[in-house]
């Protein structure tokens, strides 16, 4: 079993509980792509549920069923929140990976230009943050506006 330890820009892992070994760049990239693929599958599910939410919003918007409108509104809000969470998770994975690259670089390990680019293009070690950037905020508000107008405005 392998245990990873990162403290004060010092990243290493315990191999067989015996010796300290620094993770290789390949191991870090592999974990990064594994997390990215998991997040992509999550996004694909959300894209389908977003389509379902638009269909439900259109269907309930044509009716006078107040309970249905309220339930579909809650469903749409949950989907938009999860899309925001998915984006925040992707950013967190990038920042965490860049943080590990920064830590091993600080220990004198030479990293590739791709790893250096990731460090330069992100905020290494930044904590998880649910506040989206401006473009994502606009996108999510437009999606929410389209859904809510389909539900609550007269056609």
In 3D space, the residue among 93, 76, 81 whose CA is nearest the CA of residue 40 turns out to be 93
pTM of the model: 0.82
- Let me know: does 86 contact 36? Beta carbons within 8 Å: no
Q: Where are the domains of the chain?
A: 24-152
Per-residue model confidence (pLDDT) at position 16: 52
Block mean pLDDT (10 aa), the chain, length 155:
55 55 88 96 98 96 94 98 97 95 91 95 92 96 97 87
Per-residue model confidence (pLDDT) at position 37: 97
Per-residue model confidence (pLDDT) at position 95: 95
Token pair 């300290």 in the structure block, residue: 20
C-alpha distance across the termini of the chain, in Å: 61
Within 10 angstroms of residue 83's Cβ, the number of other Cβ atoms is 22
Mark out the alpha helices in the chain (DSSP H runs). Answer: 25-61, 66-106, 113-121, 134-152
């Amino acid at each position: 079993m392998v245990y990873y330890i990162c403290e004060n820009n010092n990243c290493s892992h315990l191999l067989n509980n015996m010796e300290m070994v620094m993770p290789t760049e390949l191991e870090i990239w592999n974990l990064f792509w594994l997390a990215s693929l998991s997040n992509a599958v999550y996004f694909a599910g959300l894209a389908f549920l977003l389509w379902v939410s638009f269909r439900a919003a259109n269907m309930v918007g044509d009716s006078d069923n107040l309970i249905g409108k309220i339930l579909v509104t809650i469903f749409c809000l949950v989907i938009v929140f999860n899309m925001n969470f998915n984006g925040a998770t992707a950013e967190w994975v990038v920042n965490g990976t860049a943080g590990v690259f920064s830590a091993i670089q600080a220990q004198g390990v030479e990293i590739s230009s791709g790893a250096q680019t990731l460090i330069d293009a992100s905020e290494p070690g930044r904590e998880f943050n649910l506040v989206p950037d401006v473009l994502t905020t606009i996108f999510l508000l437009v999606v929410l506006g389209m859904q809510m107008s389909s539900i609550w405005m007269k056609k």
